[in-house]
Structures are given as C-alpha cells and as structure tokens.
Structure 1
C-alpha cells in the first residue's frame, strides 16, 4: 500500500511540474507568427490602395519591398523559435526532475525501512513503555550531560562570595543544619553550581524525611532535571510523585510530569496535563511560554489535530495599573522594588524563561542596581550560554542596560 501511495504522489507531483512545460510546447504561437499575419494584411492593403488609386505604382512597389523585408525577418525569427528548440529547452527540466526522483528512491532504499509494517497502537504504547523503563538513572544522566562551563564569578560581589564560603564551611561543620542546607542550595543555584545545589537540597530533603514540604521537593526535582540536562530520571520522577501526593495541584510538578511523558513517547498523556496548565494560567507563569510554543504540535501528536491554544492574555492587570497611577512616586518605587524581588525569588527557586531573566536584568538596571544586574547576568549566562537562541534576549537586555562593553 505504501509503495502504491508513494508512486501515485510521485506521478502527481511530476505531472504538476511538467504540465506547464508541456503546455508551453503547444501553447500560444511565438510573436513572429503574429508579425507575419500583420505583414500579410499590410500587403493586401497596399494592393487595395493601388486599385482605388490612393497610391501610385511607384509607391506601391516601394511599400511591397519594405514589407517583404519585414516578412523575411519575421520568418527567420519564427524558424529560430521552432518546436525543436522548445522541446530541447523542456528536456532539461524533465531530466533534472527524473534525477531528483531517482535520487529520492535511492536515498529511501538506503536510509529507510521499505519492508517495515505499520506499527499498531498497542506496539507503539509498548515501545514507549520500553523507552520509559530504559531511562538512565540520575547519576548516569548527569555523567552523560554536556559539560557546563565553570561559573563566571569575575563580576560577583567579593563580600557575597566570602559569605557563601562561610556558609559552606558552616554546613560542613554542622551537616544537620536544615536552614543552612536550604540557604546553601539556593545560593549554589544562584551561582550556577547545579551539582552542589542539588546535593545540598537532597541532604535537606533526606533530613526532613516525611516532613519535607512540596516546595522543598519541587526544588529538588527541578535541580535534578537541570543537572541531568533536562532528562526526567526515575529518581526525579519519584520526587515529583511525592510532590503531587502532597499537593496534586502543584503546577511545576505537573509541567515536569508532562515533560517526562513527552520524553518517553506518550504525547497522548502529556497533552491533557499541559492543556489544563495553559488554561489555568497565570499567563506569566514560567512554564507557560514553553507550553504555548509546543502545545499545538503536541495536540496533533495526541490525535487532537483541531486544537488551537487560547490567546495570550499576559500583561499587567488593569486594576494594578489604575492603582499605580494613584500612587506617590515613593510608593511606585516600592512597588517596583517588590515586583523585582518577587521575580528574582521565583527565578532562584523555580527557574524561568530567558525572557524573564532579561526582564529582571532590565528592571535592576532601571533601579540603578547595575552591580546586582551584572551578577544576575553572569548567572543567566551560566544557565543559558550554551543555547544561542536562549541567551540572545538576555544579551540584548544587557546591552540596552549598558552592562556589556
């Protein structure tokens, strides 16, 4: 059946390409043929004018000679544009098309699987289940992850770095200090030391045992996925399951569960999760841009080809804008500081999109906190520097803020 469909599509395509060339051979005559008709009509007109006495014999003879030269020239041009020439020009595209089709067949026979039968749904589910069970463990995934560049701390505040060193030493002296481990995990993540951050968060969760809350579990799962270069390993999935047991509505855990299902060939299960997250919002949630960019393709893979993502309603709330207009300059400044602080805390604890990191850098620059903005820029470069598309909006924001030379 496949070969019949492929041959039919190939024939239709070839006909569509060659049809204009074929029509060109039997289509309108060249311009020289029209010229010949005009010249013949002109000769007949000369003869009629001579019979009516409008022109004399000498003028008639001169006009016949002039029109005759034009007839000879048109006849010569008509011969040059004959069918043989047109057929020769049509032969070249036909040969090129034949070579392309032959090359496509050879490429498929070499790289494709001509005899492979269609895979029934049950076999596809079985293949997805096999891929799910064959996932690498956390340690293996981290070992296979691309090497990350060392964090660039040249722009970091020396006092801040000294404080982190003191915190590391304090936690080493007292490894049971839960508050110290929480602070260490957060600050190691800010510096781009993912392995150290994940290790500190893992120790914190282990110490708390059944008392670990969804936020702590979610931060551990996020660090595990980032350290594994985006792979949701069995260990990370177990942490996500604990999170969702304690808080079934935890949005970031649901998002990462959708990522895991996509990675293991189950778009049919991932689509309902991501669809609900997108509909629930809020529009400025860090996972929404990723979902919005892929949801329609995911819907098609899940068998929902007619699905269209809801329109993006992101932006400031009208009531907030109205309230801001009535504030004093000092209150507006405090409001801006509060928004920047919330954004920074969320990026540190939950991560976010490159656009959100760019927004934070721009906001810090507007607030004349360039040193802080440079530290955030260094952290963003550590996170996204390996992906040109991701780092581009961050570098653009840094350039606008005057943070780059």
Structure 2
C-alpha cells in the first residue's frame, strides 16, 4: 500500500506543478515587457516637452513636430505591450487537452501495472533465481498428493462404451487370476490409461516392470513415468523423476524420458536446462515421435529464457523437405538460382545422414534428390550404402528401391529445374515424359508458365494411367508429383486407383505404396 501512496503523491505533485504553470503563464515581472516601459518613457517625454515650451527653451512649432513623433512611437509601444500581455496567458484549448491527456496517461499506466506489474517484486540476480528454482524443485508434492489435487479439479470423464467396460471387467478379472502375466499387465495398463484411470494404469505398469525384472526395458520405465505424470496432472513428481532417471540410466537417448525430464526443468524455473535438453532431443528425434510437436511449440520460448537470440529450431529426422516459404521463394528464382538452392539442400541432407544417420525416408529422399539434380553416380553409391543399412527391412527397402528406380530426367523436370542445353541422365529406363525440346523451352518460361506446363504433364499422365494403366514407377511418379503440387486429394485418388490396378502384383504395389507413404497419402 505504501508504494501506491508514494506513487500517487508524486503524480499529484507533478500534475499540480504543470497546472500552475499553465494557469499562471509567466510571472508578474515577466508580464511587464519592454514595450510597457517604453510607453511610460514616451509619456514622460511629452510632459518634459511642455515644460520646455513654457520655459522658452523650445519653440511651439518644434514642440508640435516632436509631439507628433513621440505620440506615434507611444502608440506602437502600446500595441506591442497589449500583444505581449495576451502571449503571457495560457491558451485554454491546449491547456484542457494537456490536462485530459495527463489523466488518460495516468489511468492507462495504472491499468497496465495492475495487469502486468508485480507490486513489491524486487530485482532477482541469477543466483537468486537459481535458489528460488531449487526451492520450487524441493517443495514439489508427492505422487499421492499431486493425484489428489488432480482428482479435485478434474472434470468427470465421458461415458465410455458399455461393451468396452465389459471387456475391461473381464481383463481385470483375468489379471487378478494371473497377476504375474506380463501380457495381461501390459494390456491392463494401456486400457486403464485409455479409460482415463491413470492411477490404475501406472500401478499396473509398475507391476509389469516388477514382473519383468531385469528384462524390463528403458521404454517400460519411461512409459511408467509418463503414466505417473499424467495421473498427477502433468506434474513431474519426485517419484516419477526417479522412474525417468532409471530409464535414462538404461538408455541415455530415450526420447520419452528426455522429454519429461525437460518438462520437469521447465516446471521448476530452469528453462535454460530444459532448452538444452529439448534442443538436443529435437535434433535426434524422428518427425513422427509424439513429443516432437510439443517440443516445437515451446522450444523458442525456452530459447529466449536461456538467452539464445535468433534461435532457429532444428528439424527432426524424417521431417519434410523444403518449407512452404522455400517453395514460394523458389517460384520467383531463375533456373540457375533454383538449381543452386536445391543443390545446397541436398548437400545438407547428405552431410546429416553421413554424420548422424537417419530413417529410410531420409535415405530415399537423398537418393531421389541426387538423381533429380543429375548426380546419378552419387545416387547409386548412396543406394548401395542404404542397402547395407536397410537390406534386412523389406518395408524400408521398398521406399529406397522406389526412390532409386524413379526416372532422373522426369524428377528434374518435376522440380522445374531444367536448364538450357542440359540433357536428361540416361541411368533410368526411359519413361514417357517431357522431350529434350520441352525441357530446353522450360528454361525460358516464367515461373507461372513452367508451373502450368508441369501441371499439364502431370494431368496427362494421371489421365493415361487411370484409363490405360501403367508401370509402378509411373504410378509412383504421379502420386509424388501431385503431392508436390499440393494436390493431396488427387494424390490420394491416384493411390486408390493404383491399388486397384496393381492389386494382383504385390511387389509392384509395394513400390507405389512406398512413394505414397513418402507423399503422406498412405498410412
């Protein structure tokens, strides 16, 4: 309260001083300008002139001429004096406006402080902030207390399906009869969580971990910690922290445990530590990992808290290639500038895979990109390396094979990167596509004309495939092209037609499916 008294008193004093200055204008001494003094002098001169005439010092004619001149000067001085007295008064309009403006500013400042200010909040050095964070960390509620608080504020769950409740009843009875059955405990934990019974879910998961003993994995512990955190309303309690610590002791790269440890740091005033954990996590996560969207939503704010200026979040592995901004920028580039941009992105992807590795989608994208820019030999070398990594995984190899078998010349044209005089590589089998003359003509087109030409070729290929059929490479190409053009619905339609046309050819359909998955139109 003392703060408000002092603040109000200071504002009142300042406002009063302003008001007095406006109302009084200039002081009394200043209100008598030099012109007023001159008028008095001229009057004295007129009286002295009359005395001189009476004494015979000055003739009447000379006195009349002098009176005329003195009178003229006196009138001018009087006019200036009158004008000066008007200037000494404060104008009413600006005065009222200034008073109203002061009231508005004071009121706005008061309103803003009540919204955003913190009365009595002192400056906090970094050491004090860390000390406060430690206190917050040490004063966390236990798992049981946190769950009680969560139950008190939780809304009643929606009525579940009666059939599901009946199945859950049977599952609970089965687990009660076989309390050490890992499969039953696993099903019980997951389905209790699905019902919203997170307390029962983490206890079932805890029994599962105990039953497995030394066979329990880091992921088992991480899932147990997650269920405990959800049951506690998102708070990472000391008990849950110990579980996540066990998971990270078994696997220091466990993404789920790293996410929740970072969340715990953020909850307890250590955004700097949370940022370092999540930044590293994002760099080593797949784009499909469930924590990636949550990290991406908060990482920039944590970067600001950690003092990182101009921070750009890294892309997780398997993330889509160029952003919408990249595509929009490329549309206005010359063919040479566009080709250079594409090449730089390919080199960055190549470097990352060489240093950190990546998913099959990443390898497939690198192979198709290298073929797109005409470096077929490098694409073949990368393909050989990818076979060594994913040869034992049929689904992953299907994606890589589809990328390797895509026609290089067509891929180049699909990206609008044809250059005058550049012939299409001949490593891939020839497929219907643009002629050499069409590719040469594309170099002189505007971005809109080139886009229209590409759209026409894709439409033509789509129509031919739906009426006459075609090879799996052609189906894969039309799906990828439509997705690249942003026509997702048509790409899904093409995938559906391909499934019908190649239903009796599993190997061919697998190639098309890999392209459809890469395009995001197949599960």
TM > 0.5: yes
- For the Cα contact (< 8 Å) 1:221–1:239, is it kept in 2? yes
Q: Which has the higher contact order (CA 8 A, sep 6+)?
A: 1
Give matches, 1:63-212, under 5 Å: 83-101=91-109, 112-113=119-120, 116=122, 118-145=123-150, 146-154=153-161, 158=163, 160-212=164-216
User: 1:265 and 1:206 mapped to 2: Cα distance?
Assistant: 33
Contact 2:279 2:314 in 1 (8 A): no
Number of aligned residue pairs: give it: 261
Separation in structure 1 between the aligned mates of residue 110 and residue 192 of structure 2, nearest angstrom: 58
Structure 1 Cα separation of the partners of residues 216 and 263 of structure 2: 24
Q: What SS class does the counterpart of residue 127 from structure 1 fall into? A: helix
**Partners of 2:296 and 2:111 in 1: CA distance:** 38
Match of 1:401 in 2: none
Q: Does 1:303 align with 2:307?
A: yes
1-structure distance, mates of 2:217, 2:165: 29
Matched position secondary structure for 1:88 = helix
Paired with 1:178 and 1:311, the residues of 2 have a C-alpha distance of: 37
Which of structures 1 and 2 has the bigger CA Rg? 2
Structure 1 contact 151–191 (Cα < 8 Å) conserved: no
Change (3 A) 1:275 1:168: same
Report the 3-state secondary structure (helix = DSSP H, G, I; strand = E; otherwise coil) of the residue aligned with 1:249: coil
Deviation for aligned residue 1:229: 0.5
* C-alpha distance in structure 1 between counterparts of 2:138 and 2:178, whole Å: 38
Residue 252 in 1 paired to residue 259 in 2?
Answer: no
1:104 is displaced (CA, Å) by: 6.2
Contact 1:151 1:192 in 2 (8 A): no
Deviation at 1:219, TM superposition (A): 1.2
Question: CA separation of 1:200/1:102 partners in 2, compared to 1, >3 Å: closer, same or farther?
Answer: closer
Task: Report the aligned-residue RMSD.
Answer: 4.0
Assess if the C-alpha contact under 8 Å between 2:282 and 2:315 holds in 1.
Answer: no
Unaligned runs of 5+ in 2: 15-89, 322-360, 369-398, 404-471, 477-494, 515-519
Aligned to 2:235, the other structure's residue is in SS state coil
Cα distance change on mapping 1:274 and 1:89 into 2, 3 Å: same
TM-score (structure 1 length as normaliser)? 0.55
Q: 1:99 to 1:249 in 2, by over 3 A?
A: closer
CA gap 1:282/1:235 in 2 versus in 1, 3 angstroms? same
Change (3 A) 1:262 1:161: same
